[in-house]
């Protein structure tokens, strides 16, 4: 593959002149500029980003580490981050941690090795694991989004998970539900915990209690929620509404309802956190709490750019407000059958 030296030789100039022509950092006469450009075209020259990065000590790469790209929430987040990164002139180096803390740590080391300008991570671990992240970053600008507990020595950008749970739960209460169950996420994760606490707090404030039978844990994936849903629907008294901690588990819950020969919202109302593109295409359309994903992406890239620029101030925490999207999957409970 052609190098700058080849271009220089063909154009009859020095490599310094070629470099100046490309970077525009110093003045080159039109005459030479044209000769250089012609040579570049003729040779099909593309500058070597590794050499340039090595010399300049930076790269135009940013790392992006997500637990699982097939979860539509993450898909959308990757989409938004990649778009905004591209607008800012960065290319995204994609890492998938597959929900494994050890893999996440490896990926951070990998990003460091590639001397990315900075990295955005959606942590997959519990609080302790998250607290480790800043140490692993070891100087690389690192911004944590979504599952990031407070107190990390990093810029963090999160949803107001308690408010999201509060919106969902209050909606169910306002429809008249009294027997409400939940399918929560993995207990050690920050987002699960917050959503669960939000849920319980609202109920307690209304003097309602939740039976142990009516609290199930899933792992944020479909299958676990199907099982949890089946168990909930067979418990007595059967809940009239289920608050589900994320979108994937909402699908599992819907499957469970169908398998039991019941229907939403006739027999049971269902609501979840995290909207997704097809929530409006289901029958019934699904009521959810939407996270402002693009705002999350924007804030993450913005903070990262500041840190890449050398900003040294204390870690900041940005908390974004969720929004209730009312569709058809929740309605008033039937009178006691």
Residues that bind its own copies (CB under 8 A): 1, 44, 46-51, 53-54, 59, 61, 64, 69-70, 75-76, 78-79, 82-83, 86, 91-96, 109-110, 112-115, 138-139, 222, 251, 254-255, 258, 277-278, 280-283
Beta carbons of 100 and 126 less than 8 angstroms apart? no
Nearer to its own copies among residue 16 and residue 50 (C-beta): 50
Residue 329: CB minimum distance to its own copies, A: 12
Among DNA, its own copies, none, the one that 83 touches (CB under a kind-dependent 5 to 8 A) is its own copies
Nearer to DNA among residue 3 and residue 170 (C-beta): 3
Residue 244: CB minimum distance to its own copies, A: 13
Location of structure tokens 């319980």: 200
Among its own copies, DNA, none, the one that 25 touches (CB under a kind-dependent 5 to 8 A) is DNA
Beta carbons of 274 and 247 less than 8 angstroms apart? yes
Residue 48: CB minimum distance to its own copies, A: 6
Residue 44: CB minimum distance to DNA, A: 12
Main-chain dihedrals φ then ψ at residue 259, nearest 5 degrees:
-65, -30
Q: How many whole angstroms separate alpha carbon 216 and alpha carbon 203?
A: 16
Among its own copies, DNA, none, the one that 333 touches (CB under a kind-dependent 5 to 8 A) is none
Among DNA, its own copies, none, the one that 4 touches (CB under a kind-dependent 5 to 8 A) is DNA
Nearer to its own copies among residue 178 and residue 221 (C-beta): 221
Location of structure tokens 């992406």: 297
Nearer to its own copies among residue 26 and residue 278 (C-beta): 278
Beta carbons of 243 and 177 less than 8 angstroms apart? no
DSSP states along 70-126 = TSHHHHHHHHHHHHHHHHTT-EEEEEE-TT-HHHHHHHHHHHHHTT-SEEEE---S-
Residue 113: CB minimum distance to DNA, A: 9
> What is the contact surface with DNA in residues (CB under 7 A)?
1, 3-5, 12-17, 19-20, 22-23, 25-29, 31-32, 45, 47-48, 51-52, 54-57
Largest CA distance in the chain: 91
Q: How many whole angstroms separate alpha carbon 104 and alpha carbon 305?
A: 22
Q: How many whole angstroms separate alpha carbon 194 and alpha carbon 188?
A: 10
27 secondary structure, DSSP code: -
Nearer to its own copies among residue 236 and residue 281 (C-beta): 281
Q: How many whole angstroms separate alpha carbon 292 and alpha carbon 213?
A: 33
Q: Which helix (H) or strand (E) holds 241?
A: strand 241-244
Residue 135: CB minimum distance to its own copies, A: 9
Nearer to DNA among residue 31 and residue 87 (C-beta): 31
Residue 9: CB minimum distance to its own copies, A: 19
Beta carbons of 124 and 192 less than 8 angstroms apart? no
Nearer to DNA among residue 14 and residue 132 (C-beta): 14
């Amino acid at each position: 593959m052609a190098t700058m030296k080849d271009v220089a030789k063909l154009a009859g100039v020095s490599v310094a002149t070629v470099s100046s022509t490309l970077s525009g950092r110093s003045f080159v006469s039109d005459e030479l500029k044209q000769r250089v450009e012609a040579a570049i075209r003729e040779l099909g020259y593309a500058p070597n980003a590794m050499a340039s990065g090595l010399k300049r000590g930076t790269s135009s790469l940013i790392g992006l580490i997500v637990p699982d790209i097939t979860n539509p929430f993450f898909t959308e987040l990757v989409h938004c981050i990649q778009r905004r990164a591209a607008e800012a002139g960065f290319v995204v180096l994609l890492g998938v941690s597959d929900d494994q803390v050890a893999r996440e740590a490896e990926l951070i080391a990998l990003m460091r090795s590639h001397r990315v300008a900075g990295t955005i991570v959606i942590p997959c671990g519990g609080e302790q694991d998250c607290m480790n992240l800043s140490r692993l970053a070891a100087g690389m600008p690192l911004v944590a989004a979504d599952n990031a507990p407070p107190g990390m020595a990093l810029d963090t950008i999160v949803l107001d998970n308690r408010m999201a749970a509060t919106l969902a739960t209050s909606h169910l209460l306002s429809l008249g539900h009294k027997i409400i169950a939940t399918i929560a996420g993995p207990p050690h994760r920050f987002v699960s915990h917050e959503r669960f606490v939000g849920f319980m707090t609202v109920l307690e404030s209304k003097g309602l209690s939740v039976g142990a039978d009516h609290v199930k844990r899933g792992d944020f994936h479909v299958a676990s929620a199907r099982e949890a849903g089946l168990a909930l629907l067979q418990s007595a008294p059967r809940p009239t509404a289920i608050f589900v901690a994320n979108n994937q588990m909402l699908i599992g819950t819907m499957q469970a309802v169908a398998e039991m020969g019941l229907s939403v919202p006739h027999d049971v109302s269902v609501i979840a956190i995290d909207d997704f593109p097809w929530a409006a295409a289901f029958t019934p359309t699904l009521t959810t709490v939407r996270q402002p994903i693009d705002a999350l992406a924007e804030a993450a890239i913005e903070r990262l750019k500041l840190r890449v620029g050398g900003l040294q101030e204390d870690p900041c925490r940005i908390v974004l407000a969720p929004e209730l999207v009312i569709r058809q999957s929740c309605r008033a409970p039937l009178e006691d059958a």
